[in-house]
Amino acid sequence: MPSYVVTGSNRGIGLAFIRQLSKSPKNIVFALARNPDTPHELQDLHKSRKNVHLLQADITDVKALKAAATKVASVTDGKLDYLVNNAAFADFSRQALPLDGDAEGQEELLEDDLLKTFKVNVIGTIHTTNTFLPLLRKTAETSTAKIICLSTALSDPEFTVRLQLTNLSPYSASKAALNMVVAKYAAEYKDNSNIVFLAISPGLVDTTVKPPTPEELENYMKMIVACKKFYPDWIGVPLTPEQSQWL
């Protein structure tokens, strides 16, 4: 039975992964989240589908990650087929600010934003990958194990300059770093064709849990206008989490 660990599974794309993967009773699905007991929909899936297991862990907490990996191993005979590194952080209250957008004397706000974003999106993903690698290696002894990291087009330098995208700078930079992290793992395991590392972009996906503020909507429309200059046929509507998985 294929086994999956999905981080950041309490909402958005992560929750959609859990919902879709657990439809097949042949799959063993582990939903990893900081607070898996909070979202009602994740709890409902856990109660209604016997193949959904909840794991509590912040991806920056190595001790909690190791405890989660131990639980997975106890169910899967020490193996894991797929690790989906979906969990991420972005400070949307500061998303419109360019890198030089903070007022004089408030430089520490940008530094704090960068440090927290990189700690989750880069360091947290590395910790998660390293923690579950022994289980993935066990699978690789007889079949293919896959580590999938959710990236974004905002991490592409050419795309950024071409569309003059100055928003979400810390998030974009962290995802660019994540792409290099995936490349480093892929280089390390290049001679082992049974372990595959992928960085993929799900596209522009609506993962909001509440209506956008007027400022957020204004920033979104600016991005839409910029994108449509180069992609005029795009209708400008974000994908749902479910749509993003099947394109």
Structure tokens at 233: 């046929």
Instruction: Please enumerate in sequence order all residues whose Cβ is within 8 A of that of 171, keeping only pairs 6 or more positions apart, or say none.
Output: 88, 89, 90, 91, 95, 117, 121, 152, 154
Tokens 């862990």 — which residue?
A: 57
Is-contact 13 202, C-beta < 8 A?
A: yes
The conformation of residue 124, written as its DSSP 8-state character, comes to I
Backbone torsions φ then ψ of 219, nearest 5 degrees: -65, -40
Among 41, 43, 59, which Cα is nearest to 5's? 59
CA–CA separation, 156 vs 67, rounded Å? 35
Residue among 79, 175, 189, 220 flagged as catalytic:
175
Q: Is 220 a catalytic residue?
A: no
Residue 171 designated active-site: yes
Give the DSSP H or E segment for 51.
none
List of residues 6+ apart from 135 with CB closer than 8 A: 69, 72, 73, 76, 78, 79, 80
Angle at 59 between CA 94 and CA 190, to 5 degrees: 105
* List 171, 185, 189, 220, catalytic entry: 171
88: helix, strand or coil: coil
- The dihedral over CA atoms of 130, 67, 14, 93, expressed in degrees to the nearest 10, equals -90
Active site residues: 171, 175
